[in-house]
A and B are shown apart, each in its own frame.
Chain A
Amino acid sequence: SQTIHQWPATLVQPVGSPLSLECTVEGTSNPNLYWYRQAAGRGLQLLFYSVGIGQISSEVPQNLSASRPQDRQFILSSKKLLLSDSGFYLCAWSPTGSGQYFGPGTRLTVT
């Protein structure tokens, strides 16, 4: 069966500091991978998606970036965090045409 991992589970970072969140998927190959952000009490905002190694599509122009260095690894980064970057960051994978399966998420607080 497939498993998706995210770490860390929680993170408190000062404004202006860098960020790196990692997501890995087990038990499948060539998954479609996604990064979402969910602000408190809000819906899911799609940040990035990837359909293959090195292929990244950005949905929201902002100070975040994503990379996919390996087939089942997806990384979300920032060089300088803003207060508005606080939120619940979710990685998800999906087989093409099917629903999405979410990781446990990282709760980021920027202070």
Chain B
Amino acid sequence: QKEVEQNSGPLSVPEGAIASLNCTYSDRGSQSFFWYRQYSGKSPELIMSIYSNGDKEDGRFTAQLNKASQYVSLLIRDSQPSDSATYLCAVNGGTYKYIFGTGTRLKVLA
């Protein structure tokens, strides 16, 4: 069974700090990796995609991928209360199917 694991949280960080969200996956053949943000009662929103080892930066967000360790992370710099949400990690193995983790709830404290 292909799996994506995330700590459910909540992860609490003070405003202005760096939030670090982690995800591990079981399928070594995974090729594409995604982070989604889901506010309470809303649908998930794609915020980052990463396809190769290393870091990818987009504004305050940095995605990090380490295929050897089967590990992908999301860093949020200068965290704001508006970043409080559940963050979902998803993995695609080159097929039409995506495997989602259950999400990490982030709380940014003002």
Residues of A within 8 A of B (CB): 32, 34, 42-44, 46, 49, 51, 57, 59, 90, 94, 96-105
16 residue pairs from A and B, CB less than 8 Å apart:
A32-B96, A42-B102, A43-B101, A43-B102, A43-B103, A44-B88, A49-B96, A49-B97, A90-B44, A96-B96, A97-B32, A98-B49, A100-B34, A101-B46, A102-B44, A103-B43
- B92–A97 CB distance below 8 A: yes
Give the B interface residue count (CB, 8 A). 20
Expressed in whole angstroms, the Cα–Cα distance for A49 and B99 within the complex equals 13
Shortest C-beta distance, A101 to chain B (Å), equals: 6
B49 x A90 contact (CB < 8 A): no
- Report the separation of the CA atoms of residues A34 and B43 in the bound assembly, to the nearest whole angstrom: 14
Instruction: With both chains docked as a complex, state the minimum distance between the C-beta of A67 and any C-beta of chain B, in angstroms.
Output: 17
- Contacting A at CB under 8 A, from B67-110, are 88, 90, 92, 94, 96-98, 100-103
Q: Are A51 and B49 in contact (CB under 8 A)?
A: no
Interchain CB contact under 8 A, B98 and A100: yes
State whether B97 touches A44 (Cβ < 8 A).
no
Binding site for A on B (CB under 8 A): 32, 34, 36, 42-46, 49, 88, 90, 92, 94, 96-98, 100-103
Contact indicator B49/A46 (Cβ below 8 Å): no
Q: How far is the CA of A96 from the CA of B96 in the complex (A)?
A: 7
Q: Which residues of A are found within 8 Å of B92, using beta-carbon distances?
A: 97
Give complex CA distance A43, B105 in Å: 12
When the two chains form their complex, are residues B100 and A44 in contact, meaning their CB atoms are under 8 A apart? yes
Contacts of A102 in B (CB 8 A): 43-46
Give every chain A residue within 8 A of B100 (Cβ-Cβ): 43-44
New contact pairs (18) apart from A99-B32, A105-B42, CB-CB < 8 Å: A32-B96, A43-B88, A43-B100, A44-B44, A44-B100, A49-B97, A57-B96, A90-B43, A96-B96, A97-B92, A98-B32, A98-B49, A99-B34, A99-B90, A100-B98, A102-B44, A103-B43, A104-B43
